[in-house]
Amino acid sequence: MFQPDQIERIRTHFKVVAPHADEMSRLFLTRLFTAGPAVRALFPRDAAARGQDLIASLGIVVKNLGRLDSIEHLFAEMGARHHRAGIEPQHYGIVRDALVASMRDVSGQVWDARIEADWLSVLNAVASMMIRGAGRARMVAA
């Protein structure tokens, strides 16, 4: 679980990157498609709007970092939707790394190894909730 000082750090940092959502979203998609061209086919042409959705969903996570279990159902359902869209568990690492790198790009001086590790923990927690939801959707469909 996340410690109070870690939560504070992540929230403070999210306030730095959130105003750069458009740029981050563009950088994120560019990286995503470069890092994993196989995932490009999953995205529609106007995927920039989805980058915004992703950042908005991170806002929900940041707000609830002290009680992630209370939003698990939201992310489980999102993971189930992703599963139905053809997204596999192995895609989550590619997305996590592209997102962390795009956050770093818009952060300037405030980025350091500690905040990078914090965000990796956050995104791993989100991916776990989504992949659990995807797993349940897979079992129900089977």
Contact 93, 49 (CB under 8 A): no
- Interaction of residue 127 with ligand HEM, rule CB under 6 A: yes
- Interaction of residue 54 with ligand HEM, rule CB under 6 A: yes
Q: How far is the CB of 109 from ligand HEM (least distance, A)?
A: 26
The residue within the footprint of ligand HEM, chosen from 50, 71, 116, 128 (CB under 6 A), is: 50
- Interaction of residue 53 with ligand HEM, rule CB under 6 A: yes
Cβ proximity to ligand HEM: between 90 and 108 the closer is 90
- Residue 69: which of 128, 22, 136 has the closest Cα? 128
Name residue 43's amino acid: F
- Residue 57: which of 84, 43, 78 has the closest Cα? 78
- Interaction of residue 78 with ligand HEM, rule CB under 6 A: yes
Question: How many Å apart are CA 55 and CA 60, to the nearest integer?
Answer: 9
The residue within the footprint of ligand HEM, chosen from 57, 64, 121, 128 (CB under 6 A), is: 57
Question: How many Å apart are CA 107 and CA 20, to the nearest integer?
Answer: 9
The residue within the footprint of ligand HEM, chosen from 11, 63, 81, 114 (CB under 6 A), is: 81
- Residue 79: which of 67, 91, 70, 65 has the closest Cα? 91
Q: Which residues of this protein are in contact with ligand HEM, per CB under 6 A? A: 39, 42-44, 47, 50, 53-54, 57, 78, 81-82, 85, 87, 91-92, 95, 123, 126-127, 130
